[in-house]
Amino acid sequence: MLQHEKDQLLTLFETRNRWCKGSEARDATGEPVLYDDDCAVAWDLTGGLCHLFGWRRACQLFVQLDRHITGRKRGFGTEDDTVTAMSALLDFNDAADVSYERVLEVVQNMQVWSGAQIHSSGQPAQAVDRD
């Protein structure tokens, strides 16, 4: 996750009424809608990622956030890993003991990438916590 992505996600969930459980998104009456529905006013964690960054980037972020939350390492780019990570995030978001404050805490504590693609050593850039 890049810093600007983290910032956008925190801005999206800036108030409690912009986050939901049990559906990827909800309209102003609380009815479930799709994440990209123009009537959506609240999103769960996965719906918020899709809403902000589109499906392709959200799939990459599902794996990163799942690793951050659960500690499980999954591959990048395989459909099975993406679906498993998305499912884990849905379970986390919708768990009875997970609150709005807990979701914010998880996002706030998420490490971000420095933005550098490759160091001069030829190794991938490392995650850095910029909080």
User: With 0-12 CB in 10 A as exposed, 13-18 as middle and 19+ as buried, what is 111?
Assistant: middle
| 28-44 average pLDDT score | 98
Please answer whether residues 24 and 50 qualify as being in contact, where contact means their C-beta atoms are separated by less than 8 angstroms: yes
E-strand ranges in 1-131 read 25-26, 32-33, 42-43, 112-113, 127-128
- Number of domains making up the chain: 1
CA-CA-CA-CA torsion sign (25, 95, 86, 2):
positive
Predicted structure pTM score: 0.82
127 inside domain:
no
Domain of residue 31 covers: 3-112
- DSSP conformation letters of 36-53: T-TT--EE-HHHHHHHHH
52 inside domain:
yes
For 43-100, write each residue's pLDDT tens digit: 999 999 999 999 999 999 999 999 998 877 655 556 678 999 999 999 999 999 999 9
* Model confidence band, residue 116 (pLDDT cutoffs 50, 70, 90): low
125 inside domain:
no
124 inside domain:
no
pLDDT of residue 88: 95
27 inside domain:
yes
Q: How far apart are CA 92 and CA 98, in angstroms?
A: 7
Looking at residue 14, its amino acid is E
